[in-house]
A and B are shown apart, each in its own frame.
Chain A
Amino acid sequence: MKTRANILCLAAAFLVATAGLLSAREKPASGASLDAAAPVILIRNATILTVSHGTIDKGDILIKDGKIAAVGGTLKAPADAVVIDATGQFVTPGIIDCHSHIAVDGSVNEGSVSVSSMVNIADVLNSDDISIWRDLAGGVTTANILHGSANSIGGQTVVIKLRWGQPAAKLPFEGALPGIKFALGENPKRSNFRVSGAPERYPATRMGVEETIRGAFTEARDYKKSWDDYNKRVASGEKNAIPPRRNLKLDPLVEVLEGKRYVHAHCYREDEILMLLRVAKEFGFHVQTLQHVLEGYKVADEIAAAGTGASTFSDWWAYKVEAYEAIPYNAALMTRRGVLVSINSDDAAEATHLNQEAAKSILYGGLTHDEALKLVTLNPAIQLGIEKRVGSIDVGKDADLAIYNHDPLSAYAVVQKTLIDGRVYFDREKEIAGRAALEKEKKDLLEKARKKQEEEKKAGAKKPEEKKAEEKKPDEKKSEEKKPEDKPKPPQDDAGQGGAQ
């Protein structure tokens, strides 16, 4: 048995070592690096769901330099254009997920403090996370990457494009305003995470959550003033002015006060939603989006009046008390009351079928086909301030598109291709065709590992450091972990400590 375990261990190590190779095979199906110009592409004869100006029954989309160059009936393709025949297929803008935790290296929570605005998720982007590939295969092209909800004021967030195969530095959505995660309710007050022996952390009530935020912004306001004063003195020619001491926790909050950073606030209950809107008014900042906002339907008028967006789940409920009055009509009801609404995933697996989750708002609350599709395209684009670039199929926008074999607002729709910046990053046909080769490569590697193991055994006693490495066997978990978690994700949505979202 020991031998077998050793083989497994070594094989696993090999697999990890070659993971780069394996994923390289799945890189942009176009095979082009970002240095090469994006090809000219003509998508032909598709049902085009533009989102912004209705549906074109049999139309073409011309893509040049990564942008949509023309949309309409029958378009002329330049001789060098790559033609995608989409007869019988449906093209939508790429899906935009306004709440995601993919592509993050390690835990999403810096849970030790109640205000963790000094940390930035952009610092820990992991371009090798397989969830990027899986979500891309679900038509997702853009995602808002957030920290968890362990803190009243959490870390700095980043919007990425799902450019699978590119290094982490190429993931961020160029020019997208960064954000910051806030969290209200059970998670920041740690209702479901009390651990015996662990020190109690303020706040423990919704009252304390408000004061944590007020306290932080009071500090930030003073800090901002000290900088404004300093800058004024410098501007007036004062040579010996001493700059205030930099405060990495308060810098992002000053950006919030200056409208240079979006607030994305995790919340559930009606009371805490209104609390945050009051605090924002008091300090003069804007709440860009309320996230989850499962009781948003109860105070939709107030949310609409604040000009705040709402990004919610389709039909999650009852996993905790603050989710017990969640209703699947939330998105539709808020939409009807004038709130800009999106449907998000909060979970890598959920993101693979956001089109279906949006479709549920047709059943629950009677949104139109176009309104439902907007929940995962144009509306989240507006919420993230990137609507001039993505979110609809319009000339001049980025060619971020999903091509389905069926009306996307259906459980039977399967993504055939996903394009980002006019490059085909996911091609289902090619993916399936390449599976046999990948299987063979894996098999060969395992065989190689097995042989090496045998050789080493023959060679005699092992060196001490090898023994040590073996004892740790860090990779066994990959093949022998207990049963996979139930999906969608654990009950505490994004508040867990151990890397759970």
Chain B
Amino acid sequence: MKRLLLNFLGAVLVLTLLGAGAGKAQTFTAGDIAITHAKIFTLAGPPIEDGTVVIHAGKIAAVGAGIPIPAGAQVIDAKGLQVYPGLFDPVTQMGLSEIGAVNATVDTTETGSFNPDVTAATAILPSSAHIPVTRASGITEVIAAPASGGFDSRGASNLVGGQASAIHLSGWTAEEMLINKHAAMVVDWPGIETRSFDFSTFSIKEKPFADAKKEYDKQVNELADYVEQARHYAQALQSPGTGFQRDVKLEAMGPVVRGEMPLLIFADRARQIRDAVEFCDKQKLKIILAGGTEAWKEKDLLRSKSVPVILRPTLGEPPEEDDAYDRLLTQPEELRAAGIKIAFGSFDNSFARRLGQNAANAIAHGLPYEEGLKAVTLYPAQMFGLDAQLGTVETGKTANLIVTNGDPLEVTTDIRYLLIKGQLTSTDNKQKALYEKYLSRPKAAH
């Protein structure tokens, strides 16, 4: 056992040396792997004590106690450690944005109001420094969403922002990373904006509410018209007459109007949420709500229409001055208790590693532990129709797993091993390398 571990460490070392620099090897083993003597949190049943997970051809081949280890399998002795499904961050701009303040590195948001044809996977940079950094916190897959705002992008200004892609956080090319290129269509629901920052005068401009409301109604109508147009287009496409002109944008809306692709609608205020849900209900479109800062105000509607909600970080400030100070922290349990499916999202890149922390804080405010854990694993997978492949430790699923020394939602927990598609994947990253470099700086002379 020890020898195998040494071999493994040796392999890590060799590959670390080989792969020094930006193109560092992300994966370095192939073949069967057995994780043994672990406490396994399958999220599909009670935890398994002293359990084994066998991985074959990238998938979980067997899970349980006392399972035979296939001959030749690499064994990871996880005595004293715990196995969980890798965490799933359902809203990021991963690979689409490197440095928020530098426009040249940001590919999150196209110009124009309607961009259903643009696809996140196209612009995902596999060698982005964010990917290994995020991975080190136990996140194995994410949704990369265009026009989704965030700390690292320039904000969202499209009505239809483009297609979000589901990706593994490992791979030499976008193709190797892809789980589902066309995971959802991003819509940034308009807001009633009475205030805007005017750069020419460096001041905040106020707009009368009635004007802002008019603008809002206009945008919602534009969106409705667009969906209507897309529906007609899809119909016409079935039997295109002579002179029928193809349109890449409307064509990209096809899966949406056919109800095959969900809309990932960003809406936070109660009115936006209400209008977005009613819109989708009327138009018979699938919806995943993202943001949901005031979802609690519309919980009856959300429950009755079975709308899943991806919540913004709980560690934020409530929107209203007279909201309870812990409004965002207690909301997850309030929604769950009302029968609404929730997930947590980072809505960001550089703060993606706080995903678990956000879930933990909601748990500290009433959300049952296992529900909190599922809200960063199984539930996001379900929302994007990926739960047959991801989200739990079950036979037949893709082996995206983490082996930890404790609760993966806790801020002090170390991710000891991480597997993506059944491959042991490095948790080294740029930050760790810089740490090691400067840790060994000789003491400065003075």
Which residues of A approach B to under 8 Å, CB–CB?
1-2, 5, 8-9, 15, 19, 22, 130-131, 133-134, 137, 186, 191-192, 195-198, 297-302, 305, 315-321, 323-329, 333, 336, 348-350, 352-353, 356, 359-360, 362-365, 406, 409-414, 431, 435, 438, 442, 471-474, 476-484, 486-488, 490-492, 497-499
A478 to B431 Cα, complex, angstroms = 40
Are A349 and B195 in touch, CB under 8 angstroms?
no
Of the candidates A360, A481, A483, the one whose C-beta lies within 8 Å of that of B194 is A481
The 10 closest A-B pairs by CB, nearest first: A482-B191, A487-B316, A411-B360, A301-B444, A320-B101, A483-B268, A329-B435, A491-B100, A327-B431, A476-B209
Are A486 and B200 in touch, CB under 8 angstroms?
no
The proximity string for B residues 309-337 relative to A, scoring 1 for CB distances below 8 Å and 0 otherwise, is 00011011101111011100000000000
CB distance from B108 to the nearest CB of A (A): 13
Q: Which of B110-118, B168-176, B344-352 contacts A (4 or more CB under 8 A)?
A: B344-352
A482 to B271 Cα, complex, angstroms = 10
Are B193 and A484 in touch, CB under 8 angstroms?
no
Of the candidates A299, A411, A473, the one whose C-beta lies within 8 Å of that of B410 is A411
CB distance from A167 to the nearest CB of B (A): 19
Given contacts A195-B202, A327-B435, A412-B360, contact A487 B446 (CB under 8 A): no
Of the candidates B194, B316, B349, B441, the one whose C-beta lies within 8 Å of that of A480 is B194
A110 to B322 Cα, complex, angstroms = 29
A154 to B224 Cα, complex, angstroms = 50
A-B contact count (CB 8 A): 219
Q: Which of B147-155, B242-250, B384-392 contacts A (4 or more CB under 8 A)?
A: B147-155
In this complex, the member of B195, B313, B315 whose beta carbon has the largest number of chain A beta carbons within 10 angstroms is B315
Residue B409 interfacial (CB < 8 Å): yes
Q: Which of B28-36, B76-84, B299-307, B361-369 contacts A (4 or more CB under 8 A)?
A: B361-369
Of the candidates A319, A320, A435, A487, the one whose C-beta lies within 8 Å of that of B324 is A435
Which residues of B approach A to under 8 Å, CB–CB?
98-102, 129-130, 133, 149-152, 191-195, 197, 199-200, 202-204, 206, 208-210, 212-213, 266-269, 271-272, 291, 293, 312-313, 315-317, 319-322, 324-326, 347-351, 353-354, 356-357, 360-361, 363-365, 409-414, 430-432, 434-435, 438-439, 441, 443-444, 446
Are A483 and B267 in touch, CB under 8 angstroms?
yes
Of the candidates B149, B364, B435, the one whose C-beta lies within 8 Å of that of A333 is B435
Of the candidates B213, B326, B364, the one whose C-beta lies within 8 Å of that of A411 is B364
Are B100 and A498 in touch, CB under 8 angstroms?
no
A363 to B404 Cα, complex, angstroms = 12
Residues of chain B within 8 A of A483, CB atoms compared: 191, 266-269, 272, 291, 293
Residue ID in chain A nearest B153 by CB atoms? A491
Are B322 and A320 in touch, CB under 8 angstroms?
no
Given contacts A320-B102, A414-B365, A483-B267, contact A315 B353 (CB under 8 A): yes
Are B315 and A353 in touch, CB under 8 angstroms?
yes
Given contacts A198-B202, A473-B194, contact A410 B410 (CB under 8 A): yes
Are A327 and B434 in touch, CB under 8 angstroms?
yes
A317 to B432 Cα, complex, angstroms = 13
Given contacts A320-B100, A356-B357, contact A5 B213 (CB under 8 A): yes
Residues of chain B within 8 A of A191, CB atoms compared: 101
Residues of chain B within 8 A of A305, CB atoms compared: 444, 446
